């Protein structure tokens, strides 16, 4: 049986090129990207993935042409209006992650409503990173930690990061054939496995997702240990998991010495 990642995070890249190949405006690619996201949420939930985090709009995306930025904002508004109810009904908890200070009042209210409407769902958590940047996240966590007066430790800082409500991603996928992290989950992906898919995001289908999961399942996760240590630790764990229903098979990096 394939080892399923508990948490998958995705840089959904390639919408613009998908549109360009079809002589369509870039925003048509983003619209198709929303379709692909809907399909991906459902495919992840069906495979037992418990958390899906997607990079929908980066802190740097404000620098795109004005019509593309406003097209993305309109898409977000229409996705809030159309998608929240079906997601709620299929057991998805929605969380928005990012700097909301630059978002309009209406959008912020939409985020809060979607989060409140779905807060008790447990099938899968969908984190939508919007106006998000990994450096912003580390800085905002540091500001909160200093204000709290707590001593600065990795664990304390981690508690203030924007994704503190979920475990770190096991697998980070980037579509679109580029090999970059682009300021996504800089803190949280310290021990994530990385998978780069050549598929443009609108073409990222169930087969591409399964290929990413199979690639992940083939990796040995060592968290700074040696291969021998990992195998020795896995032997008793394998025996005990045979008698209990396994959840995420992967320990969190914070619990392991470097
Ligand atoms: C990167 O592709 C993609 C984005 C900047 C936006 C991703 C957004 C979506 C998939 C849909 C939006 C989701 C919501 C909830 C509104 P690119 O434009 O950089 O593609 P390119 O590299 O081919 O130019």
Instruction: State the Rg of the chain over Cα.
Output: 19
pLDDT at res. 255 = 33
**In which region does residue 14 sit, left (phi positive, over 0), alpha (psi from -120 to 50) or beta (all else)?**
left
pLDDT at residue 246 in the model: 37
Residue in this structure with the two tokens 């780069």, named with its chain if needed: 196
Out of 61, 99, 215, 233, the active site residue is 61
SS3 246: coil
Distance 257 CA to ligand 1 centre (A): 37
Q: Find, among 177, 140, 127, the residue nearest to 14 by Cα.
A: 177
Q: Would you state the pLDDT for residue 93?
A: 98
Position 218 scores a pLDDT of 96
Q: Between the CA of residue 221 and those of 71, 80, 251, what are the distances in Å?
A: 40, 37, 10
Nearest protein Cα to ligand 1, atom 22: 14
Whose tokens are 């379709």? That residue is 35
**Known active-site residue 131:** no
pLDDT tens digits, 108-130:
999 999 999 999 999 999 999 99
- Which two three-digit tokens encode residue 241? 């998991």
- Mean pLDDT over residues 239-255, rounded? 45
Kindly state if the Cβ of 87 falls inside 6 Å of ligand 1: no
Helix (H, G, I), strand (E, B) or coil at 165: coil
Q: Which residues contact 12 (CB under 8 A, 6 or more apart)?
A: 33, 36, 37, 54, 55, 56, 175, 201, 204
Assess whether the C-beta atom of 129 lies below 6 angstroms from ligand 1: no
Domains of the chain: 7-218 (3.40.1180.10)
User: pLDDT of 151-191, one tens digit each?
Assistant: 999 999 999 999 999 999 999 999 999 999 999 999 999 99
**Distance, CA of 66 to CA of 256 (rounded, Å):** 46
- Percent above pLDDT 90 for the chain: 84
Q: Does ligand 1 have an atom closer than 6 angstroms to the CB of 39? A: no
pLDDT for residue 256: 33
Q: For residue 55, report the distance from its CA to the centre of ligand 1, in Å.
A: 8
- Give the pLDDT band (50/70/90) at residue 132: very high
Give yes or no for residue 16 CB within 6 A of ligand 1. yes
């Amino acid at each position: 049986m394939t080892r399923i990642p508990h948490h998958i995070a995705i840089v959904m890249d390639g919408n613009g090129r998908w549109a360009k190949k079809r002589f369509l405006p870039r925003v048509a690619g983003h619209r198709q990207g929303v379709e692909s996201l809907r399909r991906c949420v459902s495919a992840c939930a069906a495979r037992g993935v418990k958390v899906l985090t997607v990079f929908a709009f980066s802190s740097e995306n404000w620098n795109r042409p004005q019509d593309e930025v406003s097209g993305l904002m309109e898409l977000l508004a229409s996705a809030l209006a159309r998608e929240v109810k079906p997601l709620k009904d299929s057991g998805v908890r929605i969380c928005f992650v990012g700097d909301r200070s630059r978002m309009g009042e209406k959008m912020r209210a939409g985020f809060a409503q979607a989060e409140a409407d779905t807060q008790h769902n447990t099938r899968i958590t969908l984190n939508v990173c919007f106006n998000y940047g990994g450096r912003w996240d580390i800085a905002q966590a540091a500001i909160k930690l200093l204000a709290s007066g707590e001593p600065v430790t990795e664990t304390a800082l981690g508690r203030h990061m924007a994704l503190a409500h979920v475990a770190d991603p096991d697998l980070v996928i980037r579509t679109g054939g580029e090999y970059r992290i682009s300021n996504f989950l800089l803190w949280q992906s310290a021990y994530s496995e990385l998978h780069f898919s050549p598929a443009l995001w609108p073409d990222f289908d169930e087969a591409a997702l399964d290929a990413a999961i199979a690639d992940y399942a083939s990796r040995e996760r060592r968290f700074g240990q040696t291969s021998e240590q990992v195998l020795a630790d896995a032997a008793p764990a394998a025996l005990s998991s045979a008698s209990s229903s396994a959840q995420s098979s992967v320990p969190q990096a914070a619990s392991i010495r470097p």
